[in-house]
Structure 1
Amino acid sequence: MSVDFKAFFGTGNDIRPTEVEADDQIILENFMNAIERRQIGFLPRSFRGRLWWYAFAPTQRQQREILNLLDSWIGPTFSDLARVRGALDPTDPFDAALLKSPVQPLRFEVLPRSKPHARRSRRQVRDSLLIMSRLLNGRPPSELDAPRTTVEVLDDLGHAIAAQDRGVALACLRELEATADLDQTNLAFLRLRAFAGLQDWKALLADRDLDHVLAMRRPLGITQAIQQAVYATRFAAHDAEGKEHELLDAVTTLPPFFRPLFSSTPPTTRAQVVVEFLIAIESGADDRIGRLLSEAGAIESGLPDHLRAVLRIHRTQIAEQSVEVTKPVTSMQPASPIESPLERATRLMLRGELQAALDLAFTLKPGLEATHLLLACARELQAPEQATLVADYLSGHDLRKLVDKAGARLRSDLAWLDEFTQGRPQLGWRAWFESLDHDDDATVMAIGPETTDGWAPLTDDALTDLLVNASDHALGKLGEFGGQFMAAHRDVFVADGAAGLSERVLAGLAMSEKNSTGVRVQTLALLDYLLAANPDPKVFATTLEWIGLIVKANISAVTTTWAIDVLQAATVTPAAATSATTAPFFYEIMEKVRPFKSALNLTDLEAIKIVASELALGVPKDLLTEQAEDADPSAPYRYLKDSKVVLYSLTETATTRAAQILRTLVPGIDIETSAEHDGSSRLAAQAANADVFVVVTASAKHAATDFINAKRGGRPVVLVNSRGSSAILRELAEG
């Protein structure tokens, strides 16, 4: 937490720390020292006869806690907390600068302003804040502040990727960098996997360690992620339009450190084939060109012809650029040396043709040279089938004792092979899921991204079979440890008709009783998927029951806005109007947030009123008392008056609610929601004509985002990287 004290006690603040009384100077110094040490501190501001205090906290959770405590320590007797709930005033230039802080301070004015009571109230508030800060900063560390285990953070990271919540994913990565016992290489691999999962290809290619990763031995999944990023940013547009000349031009501009970007295993996607093929052409690797042409047909029927056309153009260009130079051949010119099988296998390995090198090495005379080639290729490939073949070959030819007498590198490769083939179970997603029922927590928790990289996602039918027939015990374990599983199978849940699957996972999250950021973002995502699939009344009613339990486990002073987001998402669907369970669900959520009602912001209260009005229900009066008559929830959005605003998301629960709230708060706003697919004429018109265009990137295809950016003509697009109407409103409030 960084605060510019010189600026704070500058323009807009009549207080100068060096000019106040000695006792007050000591108090201010203590507060400023606490803030610099990332503790809780308070700073005063006097301007035109009025006095405000600003509360600074290093985290959002602590800020919410302070707001609750201030209600008790200061309360409406000496402040305007009941009216403004600590909100900064964006129309005040002094506060506008503070709005840019990562964790915005809370602000309250000391009341009453009039003499003779003002002197007493100001002294009372100062003393209360001093005592409160000492108690807060002097208490033992809370469990909530303790570092989480790597397994817990990785699980949340998986949920964030599955929900496409970039903010939570990046927060998990920062937490791993700060607390996890991982070296820089593994942290780099994690970042690249996360960016790939979020389909943030530009961030992946801009990663600070990318050139080092490309120069080292890396897992197959990392190579494939980088290939996908290169394809998406450099080749995809030309490839989709069949522009072979442009593809060749694009590969010539590829930086040299991308040249080793091949996997030597059969590719599984068009992106992998195209990237490897273009690099092979540029590098003159004829062996790889032939292999890729033969493998491309298994991916798409017309792909080999497309690649051959690229190859013909390349060869024509080379022929045209070549200058024939005839040299006289004399009888003294030595004959070309004949390459031995060992030399050829070594050359193939050095060029990255690992599978071809491995196949040839199996035909060599058993010995130390063949063993070296086999182990090096197997370790580079990291494929279970090839590793098993090498292990069987070494045992069958009694070659292990040769390795024991060889160098350290060869012994290290053999140790890796033993661990890879014997030291850990050769699982897959099905085996991992089945282990949930056996209380095999060691197996369930031991997997990491480096292990699951090579696991093929389950088919739709296989995943459906596992979830539908899973026991409550297995579902609860899935809710506790299933972040990476959900990230690997996100496409299944996004597909139409997956309401039943989303309901089963929500049941698992509820039964696990887990409280984490990952659970919360996953809950909103699954609710979006489920409602988009038009669930039948029974599934909808059951879903509300599970969500009520998830909210119960996750509600706190810092998650009330999330709970209101869940309420809004669940009730915006037509199914809510006809379900007998909706009204009890509304009041259940109200009961859950009541103990933390002081943490509800003005926009939350507006959302509650809109939901209650639609359902013809009454809002609990004690919640409304948190909003005084002169409170103005519309202030942050007033700049949108008379503007045309478009909110874009493929799942419309959040955009629909955000639009309703903005129409209530900003009369005269022209607001539309859109879930059009990229390329539609309506989306093009909206993007071209809107004054403000908002894209919920957590629920939008990258092609649609690119299309919108193109139609905006350079005008900005507001990107929202999280789900929920509050995320949209928060971005708009910040202007």
Structure 2
Amino acid sequence: MIGANPETAKRIASQLRARSKAFTFPTGTEALCNQLLETVDSTTFPGALVPEQAADGEFLVVAIALPSDWRRLCPVLRAFAGPTLTSFDGLPSTDLVVADLLAAVAEAGQCVTAAIKVPTDPGDREMALRALVRVRDTFARAPSPTRAAPEPTSWLLARFQDHLNVGRRDAAAAVLHRLRDELRLDALNLRSLEVQLLSTFNEWAGIVNLPGFANLTRARRTPATTSLLLEALYQAHLASPFEAGDQAGVESIYAQQVRVLAAPMLKAPLPASLRAGGWRLATLEVLSSPAREDLRTGAAARSNVLGWLAPRLAAVSSPEKSPVPRLDSTDEARERLIAGEARESVDVMSATLAALARLDDTQRAELARAEPFRSALRALEQEAGSTSVPTSWPMWLTRISDASFTNALALARMGAEEWPIGGDATDPVEVASLFDALNKAQSDSLAAERTAQALPYIVAALQRDPLFPNSAMTQIYSSLLTLLALGSGRGTSVYDSSLVLIEALLSIGTDAAQYREIAADVDELAGEGFGLRMVYWTLELIEAFMRSPAPDTAAREKLVHSVLARLTPLRGRLSCLQQAAVRSLSKEFGWTFDVPPAQQDLDGDGLAERLRGKSIAIYSLVEGASRQAKVALQAISGDIDVQCSADQGGTSQLRALAINSDLFVVAWAAAKHAATDFIRTHRSDRPLVYAEGKGVSSLLRAVEDYFTAQPSGRSGPD
């Protein structure tokens, strides 16, 4: 590719192809010449090989590359098509290159050129051209020099959870796509992640319509996946008639369509994370099968979410309880192993390990002699990694300083679904225990690193607290943030989930001293020199501070000025939307951010060209952020149509926007579920993206991520 910008290379390639039509290339070389022209805009080729006619009509091939690319191209070119086949000796030369060719490629920047003469004999000429084509093919097959180092699957799964915590749907989908393409997980685990992704955005019908959904209801699952599958069945089939009070219709649909799928998952103990829809399905199962005393007891305890099913359940008479025979230790271990084969649960794993620990060597050997227990034991040993597993976050934090605790991240992922933090009856003793464990982790480098890596799972567990952000958990949020700030000095990656902690602390409210500590932690998290990928994250942080009360305005201004000072060296490399966001912030604090106007940056990143003529709809309850995003987008190009909405539910205006816009952006953290469902219903297959935060930076980031990801020449639906 000529130059560093793909859009520029494509324009040059178009000009050179049109220009080549005026040439008369030697007979039989047209196909080879066209293949060489493909190098002009090939992202895998360092520079370009351009078939050319000299002023005297002589046939040439001109090698053109930026100085940095020339160092890669020259040795390979000489190895494949050096003096044995052509005139190329590794030295640049411009004597035979015509001026209009140099003018055509001038847009790419200062380049090194070399005119390569090929033999006049037809056979030798074809051999030389084929050698040059092999140069192109060699670079196409070569591994990318900028390819990132392979990442462990556990890190990718943590990043997937991180994106879900803040509502970055497209980013989470990209991680899922990578896990699938690189064959990191089996089909069942990939499908479970897809269920988690769709449920985060309440796309219940999408879950029920997944290929192989019926198989998911019978396969080994985590308790959280069971809860989501049951909720999806309820929302897709029963929610509407249930809310309408159609009791006969609900029971009929359950019996004819839902029960065959729900029954395999309705087994005691039901998941603690079961939602209202799941408890209603459990109640319907009790009404269909009154002998299910195991379900009736649990459902009766959740009568507050059962609606009109509650009195129906209370009227079901309990069957006579027959005495339950006491199991000996071997039979108990067998039952635990079978339960572990059906449920992927850290608590089930812990109970199974405890049952096995009560066996003597003879009993254990006897158990391991027969299938399926032998295979179950082998799988348990591999999954648990030791003779015991933690069953709470304080226990997990206590063990992470142990180097042999190699499955710490995998257990944290399971614990995020099963280990509750906070709630209506937050126990101060439990909070103190968790706080002490976090503080202890800060004093050990391995423990601190593992805690930082597990942050997305810890934040996911915190967000499941019905009272989140919970004022009783303030010291936990603060301790995690401090640990992350210290970890950033060790090179630990900064997760988007840190935004959740910061916004939680700011929304709860702090005194001046605590506020200064938060600002200092955020300043440390941002680092001395952050890259372009952190620009939007940093701007969203600043917006969170600007939206919240400031007990110490001097601390807030110090933080903002510090961030702006670090952004200044990057100003020439920011995208046009990043420039707009930074300019808006800098003006508010009296800075003159010396960045060329966005209109002059059209060719810098190609984003403005993709946005031109598009219609974009924005839905957010934070209307100020929507208006600022509209101004920033229209400053790039006057023909961008941006419409904003903050309707609480479905309206004719919202419906028109959903149907007609090229792109619809929903502020995930500042949207009503009813309106989001309405938009999704009328949006059909047209592009819909979610902004992770509440501010203008998140909205602009969502727009930029979408249009940047579109193939060149296609920035929206046809």
Shared topology, TM-score over 0.5?
yes
Counterpart in 1 of 2:456?
483
Distance 1:161 1:389 in 2: 34
Structure 2 CA distance for partners of 1:703 and 1:392, relative to 1, 3 Å: farther
In structure 1, the residue matched to 2:389 is: 425
Alpha-carbon distance change, 581 to 244 in structure 1, aligned in 2, over 3 angstroms: same
Counterparts in 2 of 1:704 and 1:424: CA distance versus 1, 3 Å: farther
CA contact (8 A) 1:155 1:518 kept: no
1:600 aligns with 574
In the alignment, residue 212 of structure 1 is paired with which amino acid?
A: N
Q: Distance in 1 between matches of 2:490 and 2:41?
A: 29
1:188-199 correspondence to structure 2 within 5 Å? 188-197=191-200, 199=202
Change over 3 Å in CA distance of 1:43–1:140 after alignment to 2:
closer
Aligned to 2:258: 254
- Of 149, 170, 175 in structure 1, the residue corresponding to residue 173 of structure 2 is 170
**More contact order relative to length (CA 8 Å, sep ≥ 6):** 1
The one-letter code sitting in structure 1 at the alignment partner of 2:280 is V
1:725 equivalent among 677, 692, 699: 699
Give the counterpart of 1:298 among 280, 298, 301.
301
Cα 1:308–1:704 change in 2 (3 A) is: same
**In the alignment, what sits opposite 2:419?**
455
Identity in percent: 17
Conservation of the 8 A alpha-carbon contact between 1:499 and 1:531: no
Query: Counterpart of 1:14 in 2: which secondary structure?
Result: helix
**Separation of aligned partners in 2, 1:20 and 1:722:** 56
Matches within 5 A, 1:317-336: none
Report the CA distance shift for 1:718/1:454 in structure 2 as closer, same or farther (over 3 A). Answer: closer
Match of 1:121 in 2: 103
C-alpha deviation, 1:600, in angstroms: 0.8
CA displacement at 1:613 relative to structure 2: 1.7
Match of 2:497 among 517, 522, 525: 522
Gaps of 5+ in 1: 45-68, 75-115, 316-355
The correspondence for 1:244, drawn from 244, 247, 271, is 247
How far apart in 2 are the matches of 1:154 and 1:536?
36
Q: Per-residue deviation at 1:521?
A: 2.6
Structure 1 partner of 2:236: 233
In 1, are the aligned partners of 2:481 and 2:498 still within 8 Å (CA)?
Answer: yes
Inter-CA distance 490–37: structure 2 relative to 1 (3 Å threshold): same
1:563-616 C-alpha deviation (Å, 9 max, x unpaired): 564366246426579822444434433443444434212222222222122222
Equivalence for 1:687: 654
Per-residue deviation, 1:371: 7.8
Counterpart of 2:266 in structure 1: which amino acid?
Answer: F
Indicate if the aligned counterparts of 1:477 and 1:508 stay in contact, CA closer than 8 A.
Answer: no
Q: How much does 1:263 deviate?
A: 2.7
**Alignment partner of 1:484: what SS?**
helix
CA RMSD of aligned residues (A): 5.5
CA distance in 1, matches of 2:405, 2:350: 26
Pairing 1:287-366 to 2, within 5 Å after superposition: 287-288=291-292, 290-301=293-304, 303=306, 306=309, 309=312, 360=324, 362=326
Report the CA distance between 1:135 and its aligned residue.
Answer: 13
SS in 2 for 1:287: coil
Contact 1:153–1:172 under 8 Å retained in 2? yes
Structure-2 change in CA distance of 1:700 and 1:525 (3 Å): farther
Report the equivalent of 1:410.
373
Change (3 A) 1:652 1:232: farther
Q: Secondary structure of 1:695's partner?
A: strand
Letter in 2 for 1:409: P
Q: Is the 8 A contact 2:536 2:578 kept in 1?
A: no
Q: What is the match of residue 342 of structure 1? A: none
Corresponding residue SS for 2:291: helix
Other-structure match for 2:123: none
Superposed CA deviations along residues 30-66 of structure 1, whole A, max 9, x for unmatched, are 574798896677799xxxxxxxxxxxxxxxxxxxxxx
Give the whole-Å Cα distance in 1 for the aligned partners of 2:271 and 2:334: 26
Q: Which runs of 5+ in 2 are unaligned?
A: 51-64, 71-97, 115-134, 708-714
1:41-190 pair list within 5 angstroms: 118-122=100-104, 128=111, 145-179=148-182, 181-190=184-193
Task: Say if 1:120 and 1:446 are closer, same or farther in 2 by CA, change over 3 A.
Answer: closer
Hey, what's the Cα distance between the residues in 2 that align with 1:367 and 1:611? 67
Taking structure 1 as reference, are residues 604 and 577 closer, same or farther at Cα in structure 2, changes over 3 Å only? farther
The structure-2 alpha-carbon separation of the partners of 1:452 and 1:667, relative to structure 1 and needing over 3 Å to count, comes to closer
Q: What does residue 649 of structure 1 align with?
A: 620
Question: 2:12–2:104: 8 Å Cα contact kept in structure 1?
Answer: no
Tell me how far apart the structure 2 counterparts of residues 26 and 536 of structure 1 sit (CA, whole Å).
72
Report the TM-score when normalising by structure 1.
0.65
Aligned AA for 1:573? R
Asked if 1 retains the 8 angstrom alpha-carbon contact of 2:10 and 2:41, the reply is no
Q: Residues 27 and 130 of structure 1 are in contact (CA less than 8 Å); yes or no, is this contact kept in structure 2?
A: no
Q: What is the letter of the counterpart of residue 590 of structure 2?
A: A
Partner of 1:616: 590
Letter in 2 for 1:120: L
Residue 408 of structure 1, CA deviation:
2.8
How big is the shift at 1:373?
Answer: 5.9
Q: Distance in 1 between the 2:12 and 2:268 partners?
A: 59
Shift of 1:186: 3.5
Q: Which moved more, 1:123-132 or 1:272-281?
A: 123-132
Counterparts of 2:524 and 2:113, CA distance in 1: 39
Measure the CA separation in 2 of the matches of 1:517 and 1:648: 34
- TM-score w.r.t. length of structure 2: 0.67
Distance 1:714 1:221 in 2: 28
Is residue 2:267 matched to residue 1:263?
yes
Q: 1:230 to 1:130 in 2, by over 3 A?
A: farther
Q: Is the 8 A contact 2:499 2:541 kept in 1?
A: no
Distance 1:41 1:256 in 2: 61
Say if 1:519 and 1:195 are closer, same or farther in 2 by CA, change over 3 A.
farther
Letter paired with 2:457: Q
- Equivalenced residues, count: 611
| 1:657-700 residue CA offsets vs partner (Å, 9 max, x unmatched) | 42442465577999786667x55xxx757636767664223554
Which aligned pairs between 1:463-612 and structure 2 lie closer than 5 A? 465=432, 470-471=438-439, 472-473=442-443, 477-492=450-465, 494-495=468-469, 502-513=477-488, 519-533=494-508, 538-552=513-527, 555-557=530-532, 559=533, 561-562=535-536, 565-566=539-540, 569-570=543-544, 572-573=546-547, 575=549, 579-612=553-586
SS at match of 2:458: helix
- 1:387 pairs, out of 324, 344, 352, with 352
Single out whichever of 537-546 and 459-468 deviates more from structure 2: 459-468
Flag the 1:436–1:496 CA change in 2: closer, same or farther, 3 A: same
Separation (CA, whole Å) in 1 of partners of 2:137 and 2:299 = 68
Q: CA deviation at 1:211?
A: 3.4
One-letter identity of the residue aligned with 1:602: C
- 2-side partners of 1:587 and 1:220: how far apart? 47
